[in-house]
Structure 1
Amino acid sequence: MKNTFTPARFLKPLLIAIMMFAVSSLYSQKVKPSVSGYIPVNGIKVYYEVYGEGKPLVLLHGAFMTIDTNWGQLIPDLSKNRKVIAIELQGHGHTPFSDRKLSHANLASDVKGVMDYLKIDKADIAGYSFGGAIAYQFAIQNPDRLNKLVIISATYKNTGWIPEVNNVFKTMKPELFTNSPMQTAYDQVAPDKTKWTKFLEQMIAAAGQPFDLGDANISKISAPVLIISGDNDGLDKIELAKTYKLLGGGVSADLSPMPKSRLAIIPGQSHVSLMMQTATILNELNNFLK
């Protein structure tokens, strides 16, 4: 009998993997931020945490996540010789829910607002998944504020995902997250836990909408870009190769100069398991950002 794909069959293992990731992050090594709090930007209050000293590195988390559940395993090492600024995007974690339009442009503008408030002229920006799309948008909107860009398992257009992933985005329901570790993490830090369902509805509605930040805009990014992807993380690898080409990659470096941007495909990894490969991610980040 033919094995036919259905979004419901795909969702269950995906959510289990996400929950395992959230649980593993909850038990990760902890370091306390040197500074944390809220910054008023663009009509909302954005929560941030600062770790370490040195060259600024801004971290942008994935959808439905918090600073801790996404970056908790990486911050202790990243902050050893860098000033790490981790942000919780609109409605996520400590940052209150808002009815303000949830758009890439608004969220990227929030990141700039946090940097303005902290008097950070330029920074490296690293984003995972949903945060990676915001990082692309930041690079487009604020090229003069960016040193290097790190994109982890993310795309700048919905067609950068394989069709099965886009089908999942269109069929997700808030009840799928009921009593999940992600809800537990939200409840631990959210200023108003009653906004959980509204937050999910807002995010799911946004995920179901087509988006495209534009090939032309990506090709204009002058900062070096590191793309990290799992070989089976749901990204369309043909589109990913095109993205790398737009950023100056995909050449024969024996016949022409080595491009300033990099593409790392990590074998045997899914969208979720990729972020559990702490040593691999740290190695790629450190080699690129040093």
Structure 2
Amino acid sequence: MSYAPVNGLDMYYEEHGTGAGRPVVLIHGALSGIGTSFGTILPFLTKTRRVIAVELQAHGHTADIDRDLTVEDFAADVVALLDHLGIDRADVFGWSMGAATALRLGTDHADRVGRLVLASVCFTLDGMYPGLLDGIQELRPEHLHGSEFHEEYLRTAPDPAGFATLVAKVKRLDSDLPEWSADQIRAIAAPVMLVLGDSDIIRPEHAVEMFKLLGGGVPGDLTGLPKCKLAILPGTTHTSIPQRAEWLAPMIDEFLDV
């Protein structure tokens, strides 16, 4: 459990497990941290590999700085952490905002990425259900008081009084979410595993579209399996994906071990 000086941040990260292969970096969702995003799956993943779990700007143990939250900055911060640790290339597992950050790593920092596991990600805004973000600007910090995200923040943040600022910054991020073109998705060199809940905030049709852009959607018995994978978890919402560790861990292990 350490801090690394990256791009004006003292970024908190944890290292768990050992392994001779590429390490895997875990990137959490918005308003979340290592515990709420990956606490359930960490014990599974660390059995066979080195895992580096990060906490992004203003989240968890990592203090905020005078900078808006953007997926581009998050990705650059992860690259700077890899530099700090002397890691040339890593696999990446991101959930929600962390998956968008991992996707940005795959498109903008391709030489630093081995394999990508993207849980609940869309490459265009119409990948989410219509109207999903309509009320996001009405979200107030007190609406989240008592939630696991707020409780984790109070336990871990350097300034527990900063939760309202974090919520305000996440709202700004949600008002200008990143998008990628179809050509950018097709050009991703890293093998990608897409993970989705069947009752997620991402439309399943969009996940299938992205899967096809990555080279999926083929009759594998005739053509061979594509390098990408698609996993749709039954009876699973966006926020319950982190609780599906017993399903996800063996799928992720198999994907990363290739």
* Fold conserved between structures, TM > 0.5: yes
1:48 maps to what in 2? 13
Deviation at 1:192, TM superposition (A): 1.1
CA distance in 2, matches of 1:234, 1:158: 11
**8 Å contact kept, 2:40–2:242:** no
CA distance in 1, matches of 2:92, 2:194: 12
**8 Å contact kept, 1:48–1:87:** yes
CA distance in 1, matches of 2:178, 2:33: 23
CA distance in 2, matches of 1:170, 1:159: 18
CA distance in 2, matches of 1:213, 1:173: 29
Task: Indicate yes or no: 2:92 matched with 1:125.
Answer: yes
Structure 2 gaps of 5+ residues are: none
2:106 maps to what in 1? 139
Deviation at 1:170, TM superposition (A): 4.2
Task: Indicate yes or no: 2:136 matched with 1:169.
Answer: yes
Secondary structure of 2:231's counterpart equals strand
**8 Å contact kept, 1:65–1:182:** yes
Deviation at 1:194, TM superposition (A): 1.9
TM-score, normalization by structure 1: 0.84
2:256 maps to what in 1? 289
2:147 maps to what in 1? 180
CA distance in 2, matches of 1:169, 1:210: 12
Deviation at 1:168, TM superposition (A): 4.2
Q: Please, which of 221, 227, 238 is the counterpart of residue 271 of structure 1?
A: 238
* Structure 1 residues 43 and 202, CA gap change in structure 2 (3 angstroms): same
Q: CA RMSD in A?
A: 1.4
Query: Deviation digits for residues 84-107 of structure 1, max 9, x if unmatched?
Result: 000001100000012212111110
Task: Indicate yes or no: 2:92 matched with 1:92.
Answer: no
Structure 1 gaps of 5+ residues are: 1-35
Deviation at 1:158, TM superposition (A): 2.4
Q: Percent identity?
A: 36
Q: Please, which of 36, 42, 45 is the counterpart of residue 75 of structure 1?
A: 42
Between stretches 165-174 and 106-115, larger displacement belongs to 165-174
Deviation at 1:145, TM superposition (A): 1.1
**8 Å contact kept, 1:173–1:204:** no
Secondary structure of 1:167's counterpart equals coil
Give aligned pairs, total: 255
Query: Deviation digits for residues 25-78 of structure 1, max 9, x if unmatched?
Result: xxxxxxxxxxx2111111222110000111300000111111111111111121
TM-score, normalization by structure 2: 0.94
1:8 maps to what in 2? none
Deviation at 1:154, TM superposition (A): 1.9
CA distance in 1, matches of 2:75, 2:43: 25
- Tell which has more relative contact order, 1 or 2 (C-alpha 8 A, sep 6+): 2
**8 Å contact kept, 1:124–1:148:** yes
**8 Å contact kept, 1:149–1:226:** yes
Query: Deviation digits for residues 140-198 of structure 1, max 9, x if unmatched?
Result: 11111111100112223322111142324344222211243322211111111121111
Give the letter aligned to residue 205 of structure 1.
R
Deviation at 1:248, TM superposition (A): 0.6
Instruction: Give the greater-gyration-radius structure (CA).
Output: 1
CA distance in 1, matches of 2:36, 2:145: 17
